Amino acid sequence: ISYLGVYVREAFESFWARFGWLDTTMSSGWILLFKLLTVVALGGLVKIIYEKRKRFKKSSQFLLGSSFIIGGLYLLYFFDKVLITGSMEVHRVDQGRYYFILMVPLLLLGLQGLFRWIPKEWHNHALVLLNIYMVFFNLLALVTVIIPRYYV
């Protein structure tokens, strides 16, 4: 179990906040923000499943199915990596960039989870704020991480 914790932490942090050869890291405040957003999104997904457990619609079936597929593939990969090959040393944990193929499904599931906590009449405002945040975050990453690391 402790291996799984190390593996998930390393994969999560290298997916969201480590760059290059994992030697360039965003501040711990940003990592904490990403973790909080992930927990809130997962809570929203659980809320969706709980609320629609008796009257499953196709969207709920898609949500549940895609969650199980993504989670199942990740666990299968983890068990292959750790239990079969025995490569759980931290320097051998795969970098988060290897999970970029999951970015679109994770984004869609995460947004569904986040928006579950926001009243419907605020969804358009939340989308505008999310777009502003993403522009701000990308500019901040460019100025504070990428340019100093690769161009200065």
pLDDT tens digits along 82-134: 665 555 554 455 666 667 777 777 778 888 888 889 999 999 999 999 899 88
Residue 16: strand, helix, or coil: helix
Residue 90 confidence (pLDDT): 46
pLDDT bin (cut points 50, 70, 90) of residue 57 is low
Q: Please give the distance of CA 146 from its chain centroid, rounded to a whole number.
A: 21
Residue 126 confidence (pLDDT): 92
Residue 22 confidence (pLDDT): 75
Residue 82 confidence (pLDDT): 60
pLDDT tens column, 19-46: 777 777 888 888 898 889 889 988 888 8
Asked if 47 and 116 count as a contact pair (C-beta separation under 8 A), the reply is yes
What does the CA dihedral 126, 132, 135, 137 come to, rounded to 10 degrees?
-70
How far, in Å, CA of 6 to CA of 3, rounded? 5
Counts for the chain of helices (H) and strands (E), in that order: 6, 2
Residue 27 confidence (pLDDT): 83
